[in-house]
Amino acid sequence: MPDPPKPVGAPEPLLSLPKGPDSGTWESNIEGAPGPDSGTWDSKSQGAPGPSHLGTGETTPIAPGLYVVATPIGNLNDITLRALDVLRSVDRIACEDTRQTQKLLNHYRIDVPTISCHEHNEDARARELVEALKCGARIALVSDAGTPAISDPGSRLVAAAIDAGVLVVPIPGANAALSALVASGLPATEFAFLGFLPEKSGARRTRIEELAAGGQSTASAAPRTLIFYEAPHRIHETLADLESVWGPELKLVLARELTKVHEEFLRGTVAEVRRELGARDRVRGEITLLVEPPLKSAQGVTLRSAEKITDRVARIQAESGVDEKEALKRLARESGQSKSELYRELQRERARRK
Ligand code: SAM
């Protein structure tokens, strides 16, 4: 959800019970009644602190501490039973935007006071909340959507709580990066989450070039997926930068509006995805981008796959009936590498085969 600027409001009392305004429905394709009442759960696997009866709608005592609670990224049903019980059981919920969270709390009929904790007040708020935590408060931390601290406020409060010796408990759940990754079809054993790229075009391009320069080597690694968050109004520029650095064949998945009515995955090369988006009037919604950068040979030459340059040159020659020089020229164009670099790598491969 694009974030409105967060006003730093008057301090809110930590342990008293004022209620925020009812601000209507959470942005979701799910309307209606709260999730099912799933009765009493008596699992022995519940080791971590938290309510002992899950999903009952009742509040149960939980250990004092800071609970880092994931909330839905669109579909209101994407919240765990444990998260709901924790939200019901805490003294206060620290929110990135209290109005946004209030929609979720209204939906699940959770009547717990909220307090703001956002980018602009997190340090001051962390000091206050940690004082309350030290006195035995139970506080939940949530962001507008997904997992707190992941490209969202929260990590400074968590660090302050840890420094103060306070119990910190993760309550896992929705996250856009992982949701996109698992349905992308790209390698998921190794991946790097890189958050938002810089907004300014020069800095963004430099960052992408750095990522390309530091790419992984075929000698040492399995393919790795890079995951970025991106705003819809910057998507065309970002895709253009990705293409100009890694070439049109870069494998990419654009995941849009995950868990919502208009959820969409565009899978293909960066050139194909750009063509598809270019044909649309406007690109809307929330976007997670995943790319699978080409592997590099041990000598630093970028390869589209683990395929050897010798084989790729031979394939281009066979497919197009061109000589080796022309095939190298085409490969250089395709991979974004210089012809002489590719030629040197070709010679090295041949030497190794002897
Ligand atoms: N903390 C959140 C999480 O755990 O995913 C991310 C918060 S970050 C401020 C918001 C960005 O996450 C959006 O700009 C978008 O890039 C991505 N995002 C959030 N919800 C999404 C969704 N439903 N579909 C695709 N991307 C999403």
Nearest CA-CA partner of 287 in 228, 336, 239: 228
Whether 217 and 170 share a structural domain: no
Query: Helices marked H in 8-121 — which ranges?
Result: 81-89, 98-107
- Determine, yes or no, domain membership for 30: no
Q: Cα(286) to centroid of ligand 1, in Å?
A: 6
- Determine, yes or no, domain membership for 45: no
Q: Cα(96) to centroid of ligand 1, in Å?
A: 14
Q: Cα(194) to centroid of ligand 1, in Å?
A: 12
**Which residue CA neighbors atom 2 of ligand 1 most closely?**
146
Whether 170 and 196 share a structural domain: no
CB of 153 sitting under 6 A from ligand 1? no
CB of 184 sitting under 6 A from ligand 1? no
- Determine, yes or no, domain membership for 232: yes
- Determine, yes or no, domain membership for 252: yes
- Determine, yes or no, domain membership for 239: yes
Q: Residue 78 is part of a domain; what is its CATH number?
A: 3.40.1010.10
Whether 232 and 263 share a structural domain: yes
CB of 175 sitting under 6 A from ligand 1? yes
When divided into structural domains, the chain yields a total of 3
CB of 106 sitting under 6 A from ligand 1? no
Mutate to test the pocket of ligand 1, among 97, 151, 283 (most ligand atoms within 8 A of CB): 151
CB of 78 sitting under 6 A from ligand 1? no
Q: Residue 284 is part of a domain; what is its CATH number?
A: 3.30.950.10
Nearest CA-CA partner of 342 in 352, 330, 332: 332
CB of 258 sitting under 6 A from ligand 1? yes
Whether 168 and 184 share a structural domain: no
Whether 112 and 161 share a structural domain: yes
Among the three residues 145, 174, 203, which one is the final residue of a domain in this structure? Answer: 174
Paired tokens of 33 = 């009644």
Torsion of the alpha carbons at 243, 244, 248 and 250, rounded to the nearest 10: -50
CB of 146 sitting under 6 A from ligand 1? yes
pLDDT digits (tens, 9 = 90+) for 218-248: 655 678 999 999 999 999 999 999 999 999 9
Check pLDDT > 70 for residue 39: no
Check pLDDT > 90 for residue 316: no
Check pLDDT > 70 for residue 5: no
**Average pLDDT of the segment spanning 340-347:** 79
pLDDT digits (tens, 9 = 90+) for 116-128: 999 999 999 999 9
Among the three residues 157, 174, 191, which one is the final residue of a domain in this structure? Answer: 174
Phi, psi of 262 (to 5 degrees): -100, 30
pLDDT digits (tens, 9 = 90+) for 54-92: 455 556 689 999 999 999 999 999 999 999 999 999 999
What rounded mean pLDDT belongs to the chain? 83
Q: Cα(175) to centroid of ligand 1, in Å?
A: 7
Whether 147 and 227 share a structural domain: no
Higher pLDDT pick, 64 / 296: 64
Paired tokens of 346 = 């070709």
- Determine, yes or no, domain membership for 313: yes
Q: Is there a contact between 256 and 184 (Cβ–Cβ < 8 Å)? A: no
pLDDT for the residue numbered 315? 79
Whether 71 and 118 share a structural domain: yes
CB of 89 sitting under 6 A from ligand 1? no
Whether 322 and 221 share a structural domain: no
Number of separate helices (H) and strands (E) present in the chain: 11, 10
Check pLDDT > 90 for residue 52: no
Whether 161 and 214 share a structural domain: no
- Determine, yes or no, domain membership for 128: yes
Whether 145 and 191 share a structural domain: no
Helical (H) or strand (E) element with 267: strand 264-269
Residue 295 pLDDT level (bands cut at 50, 70, 90): confident
**Average pLDDT of the segment spanning 285-299:** 85
**Average pLDDT of the segment spanning 323-328:** 88
CB of 152 sitting under 6 A from ligand 1? yes
Range of the domain at 344: 309-353
CB of 145 sitting under 6 A from ligand 1? yes
Which atom, in ligand 1's list, is nearest to the CA of 180? 25
CB of 286 sitting under 6 A from ligand 1? yes
- CA atoms of 74 and 26, how far apart (whole Å): 8
CB of 255 sitting under 6 A from ligand 1? yes
Check pLDDT > 70 for residue 160: yes
Do the strands 251-256 and 264-269 form a parallel or antiparallel pair, or are they unpaired? Answer: antiparallel
Whether 206 and 161 share a structural domain: no
Which atom, in ligand 1's list, is nearest to the CA of 147? 4
pTM over 0.85: no
Phi, psi of 10 (to 5 degrees): -65, 145
Higher pLDDT pick, 323 / 137: 137
pLDDT for the residue numbered 3? 39
